[in-house]
Structure 1
Amino acid sequence: MKSRKPLFESVIILSCKEMNKKDFEERESFMRRAYNQSNRYAEAWERSKAYGVDPTMLPEQTPLGAHELTARIYNNRQLLEAALPFVDQLYSTVESECIVAICDIDGYLLATRGERLPDKLLQHHTTPGMCWHESVYGANAMGTALAEDRPVHMVGEQHFNHELHGMSCAAAPLHDPHGNLVGSLAIAAYKTEHSPYMLGTVLSIGHAIDKAMILKSEHYRTLLLQEKIAETSNNLIIVTGDDGQIVHLNEAAKSLLVPTGDGPESLQEMFCEKSAALVALNGRKALTDFVEEVKKPGTSEIHHIFWDAHWIEDETNAASTLLLVGRDMTKFVRLERSSKQGERLSTMGKFAAQIAHEIRNPVAVIKLAMQLMLKQEEFSEKSEKKGKMILSELRRIEDLVNHFLNISKPQTPTFELCNIVETLRDTCNLMQNSFLQGNLQLVEHYEEIGMITADCDQLQQVFLNLLNNAIDATPSGGTINVTVRRDEAEPQFVQIVISDTGQGIPEDRLADVFEPFYTTKSRGTGLGLSNAKSIIEAHGGDMEVESAVDHGTVVSIWLPFEPTVS
């Protein structure tokens, strides 16, 4: 049996002989549109019947409860933030009585704009929390737009429910930035207010909302990325208003600038008047590499911060924002000082080697001659005493020459297994008489860490020097503490701490303590700490001095620690 052609095709075939070509094309176009219009909602009607929707009466339903509606609004906040400005604009520009609504992917109304007209249907229509899914009302513009993910315009009897036959409704689906369906926008009016432009208007607004969703998503990602960068950055980042009130302080800035607690609310509370922050704020200046020393709250630790300051002008809101970015260059400053010190030591070493070469030989000749004279010739008691004094001073010259030679020779340790605790104990025992003579108390705290790889002789030289410095600086009745422990922050290092309760070193002179020939002692050479630091660095370690006047000095040494079996 041959299949039958659709009715409008049969009509076209029978009539074509009586029409010219132009009339035929116009009639064909009209008949196709009529046929498509009558069948485009057929699937929606079939779904409505399958759902068991009664087309003769309104469904009995109540809006969502306040708690569930609030949760849906929150879950769709990005959609509403993008859509509501357009919804308000659309409603304000339409002159006829209408309702504009936004629903989520399940068909629940999230927001509406429109007159609460007196009939029962529109009272439902304008209530947020009502569901316009096809399973509730049958084929309707909003529900069908969601079901088929396409724009829909239903007029009169195209609606499944008879109560909607007096309405003209247009709806467009809405999508998230990934193209996923998230809801629908609809405009509804009485059929008497019907306009063929309703669908185009809703469709245009729907496209605008989709674009706004993409922009908002990109903006949100940008803000999130900026926040992540700020929080994970090692730089100090501070954002304030033009009055100095702090808007944002990242973790790096908090850890260095803010003591425990809530912390300051403004730059004025945090910084002094000559600081980079207040110079930029009060003078509305942009700064680059403003060098500033910052003391960490609760400690005497000094950090060298290089500040950049930028003013950001928001012409839209007529507001200004100050962005401060601080780079903690403490390690680089120390490295630069060490580098300069190394250069000076190298130059001094070459010079010392030349001087030592020129002095050592004549001093040796003079010393030998004086020793022979004292042995072979007879002198008066007075002359003999002067001769011995000359020998004593010659020995001092030899010691000074040897110091010069120590500087000129690189500190190359001979690595072997070394028990650092035993080495310190032995050194302290050697100096018991010095502690007794100075009426000083020695307190030792040792954590048994086993053997390390080091040059014990060189380390003992360092410990002797540091203990001598502590004894010289501590008045009678004072205390010297010696501690060996694993560094909690860096467990791959062992930490040796020698501290005293002596007179301390002024803050402005701390930076010079490792300089060769710098000393505060009347008879010191100023080479002890310089040599000690060179030895520690040759071991791959580090050495720091902290001190405050009348509060003593703390010398900390870090040595690489790799547990070995003794």
Structure 2
Amino acid sequence: MKDYDLFGEIAMAKCYPIFGRAGTADLYNPDELLDLFLRCTVDGICITNMENRFIRINQIYTKIFGYTEDDVIGRCVDEFPNPDFLNGIMLKVKDGQDFPNLISQFHHKNGHLLDIAVSYSPLRTSTGGIIATIAIFRDVTKEINMERELKKTRELYKLISENASDLIKVYSKDKTIVYASPSHEKVLGFSPDELIGQHVLDVIQAEEQEPLKRMSKNLHDSGEPQLIQLKLKTKDNKAFYSETTVSPVYNENMGIESYVTVGRNITERIENDKALRNLDRLSIIGQLAAGVAHEIRNPLTSLKGFSKLLKTSTPSEKQNEYLSIISDELDRIDMIVNEFMSLAKPQAIQFEQGNLISIIDSTINVLRPQAMLDNVQFTVKYPKEDNLELQCSPNQLKQVFVNILKNAIESMPNGGNVSIGIRKWKKKRVVITFKDEGPGIDKELLKYLGTPFYTTKDKGIGLGLTVSNKIVQEHDGTMKIDSQQGKGTTVKIELDCI
């Protein structure tokens, strides 16, 4: 139990011997000194005689318990509700024992209970004889209630953390684990004891270190909790993805002293997302195949024709010209196939530095065959600076841009123009705008765009915008679609740039 260090307990036990010292009688009046002490102390005090009757109380005693001098003086202690232990203590005090810093509950005059820190001591004469009992009281109800609430809160948090399926950890300031919930053993295979003392970098996959550093910087810059998706290590080396909230814990000087993380298993969601993306990618590939075949057929026709010419007797300068054309056409086929395979190959989301203009140009190269078949032109407007660098997954962004441009092309079966614009916004944001000249989308249908498997096209599967929006969100970006019937559709994507 907490030591409340009651003021005055020892001083009162010794005051009468001081009064009896030789040569001090003229300097101190014991009654006046006692009155002064009773008035000035911050604690409630009562003095009872050897018959356990009240002979003195101070104003603080009245304030604590509600009893006035008229209520108690001359009356016996037993006439009031008291703790069960009191009679035994009073007997021992009369035998000379002290009882400091007891915590018990006493009744207020109006009946409610108070938590009181109390000390009992014998009051002696100058010769050492015991003449009374002095009790010193301090109301600690507020402190005790706070301790009770704190204990209840701790027990509640302990109950929650020990029974929750979420992964709860507490990290020290240097990012070392000081607490791990029991759920870690069931989910990851590591017991709390195995995790305590490990650094945060010891429990995540190596490829997650850069995203973790960016999140840590954002947390310290903003001072607010951060949400991050991490791939964690498991004891059996299985893939495990966690969506984790990281919250700073501040000390009294508003400095970060620790971190609390709450992680939720999103492995199934991630696997489902991958399946949707692959399904969407295969759909795109199938729809682009005709355009790519047409685009490759043109240079193949040229190759075939010039190869036949080379078989005939031709001047050497003509042969060099034909070989140059053949080489160019082969390069063209190689470029088309590479872009197509880049889109077709499933890619894990790994962020790297990429150039936005290069990514868009590469996307346009993939879609140009289909655009030519449908008599659609691309108009591109880039800013003067060409160093628009992003921390991104280039192939994932390319998949987003392919989806948007393919939708734009298909919305104009009779041909038209797709405008692509890039502009810097604020200091480190960039906005990419795609605008077509199609018929637009009805306002009522617009709100359903992005819903999985909802499509307005006969051959669509309704995953393109769902997947695209997810990819943009993973790049800390936003995607907005505006459309009016008869005025075309505009898609705006906002991303961070370096």
TM-score (norm 1): 0.27
What TM-score, normalized to structure 2?
A: 0.31
Higher-helix-fraction structure: 1
Larger Rg: 1
Work out which structure has the larger RCO, using CA pairs closer than 8 Å and 6 or more positions apart in sequence.
2
